[in-house]
Structure 1
Amino acid sequence: MDITIDAGSATPPYEQVRLRIAALAAAGSLAAGEKLPPVRALAAELGLAANTVARAYRELELAGLVETRGRLGTVVTARAAGTSAQAQKAAQAYADEVTGLGVPPERALDLVRAALGL
């Protein structure tokens, strides 16, 4: 999978993984129903802790972009494959802005949920 972690970035590694998988799905590089690598395998490939990749997968699942099917693995949903590149750019811009302001990730997500009326 085409994911590169920038250790010098203000964006946490789990968020970099999450954003990249979402962007790959939105661009069509990951099709709906395509299986993602197991957490441990991707973590080893990226030089990250398994919990870091697991958090990225959980965040993607909470957003409805992937679905975990137990022992069958984690797959990309149709919703993820339909996410526009423009929406991904807007999300990245928001993430960069709130990170620069020192807003913790959970609080940033709370702000988005409130803005969306969720």
Structure 2
Amino acid sequence: MRFRIDDESGVPPFEQVKHQVIEGVRSGELPAGAKLPTVRHLADELGLAANTVARAYRELEHAEIIETRGRNGSFVAASGDGTRRQVQAAAAVFAERVRQLGADPDIALDLAAAALREAHG
């Protein structure tokens, strides 16, 4: 996979790296177990500070999308896209809360859809 940074974008470089890894995982271009470039190598390739790439990798690891195996490097997590699991968990919490409130599920879904549209502008 070829990474690139759009200097004209208002999105911070670490977020661009993070989103490209997530998209690579979702599209299958980065399958489970795929080795990612080292932090230093990717930083040099993109003209970024190593800390910028390290931050992206840390956030991806926290989201369970990648895993770091010490000196062996960073790899796409064997479980694949951790983001999907986290969204499913959030949806389950939402559904349970709607049930507890006795709210109409169709209205709750409409409100959730509106909130997502607003959040993603």
TM over 0.5: yes
Moved over 3 A (4+): 78-84
Cα distance, 1:80 vs. partner?
A: 3.2
Corresponding residue for residue 74 of structure 2: 74
Distance across 2 between alignment mates of 1:72 and 1:61: 15
Structure 1: gaps (5+ residues): 98-118
> Structure 1, residues 37-58: CA drift from partner, whole Å, max 9, x if none?
1100000011111000000000
- Report what 2:2 is aligned to: 2
Structure 2 gap ranges (5+)? 88-115
Is residue 2:24 matched to residue 1:28? no
| Whole-angstrom CA distance in 2 between matches of 1:26 and 1:41 | 23
Equivalent pair of 1:17/1:53 in contact (CA under 8 Å): yes
Higher relative contact order (CA 8 A, sep 6+): 1
Please identify the structure whose Cα radius of gyration is greater: 2
> How far, CA to CA, are the matches of 1:13 and 1:59 in structure 2?
13
TM-score by length of 1: 0.67
Q: What is the alpha-carbon distance in structure 2 between the residues aligned to residue 64 and residue 52 of structure 1?
A: 19
Give the number of aligned pairs: 90
What is the CA–CA distance in structure 2 between the aligned matches of 1:3 and 1:44, rounded to whole Å? 12
1: CA distance between counterparts of 2:37 and 2:27? 18
1:81 Cα deviation after fit: 4.7
Q: Distance in 1 between matches of 2:75 and 2:13?
A: 21
- Counterpart amino acid of 1:6? D
> Which residue identity is paired with 2:79?
R
TM-score by length of 2: 0.66
Q: 1:80 to 1:11 in 2, by over 3 A?
A: farther
1:42 — aligned with what? 42
Which whole-Å CA distance do the structure 2 matches of 1:36 and 1:56 have between them? 12
- Residue deviations 1:15-61 (CA, integer Å, cap 9, x gap): 00000011001100011011101100000011111000000000100
Any idea what the Cα deviations from partners look like across 1:64-114, whole Å, max 9, x if unmatched?
000000001100013335867xx8xxx9x95x64xxxxxxxxxxxxxxxxx
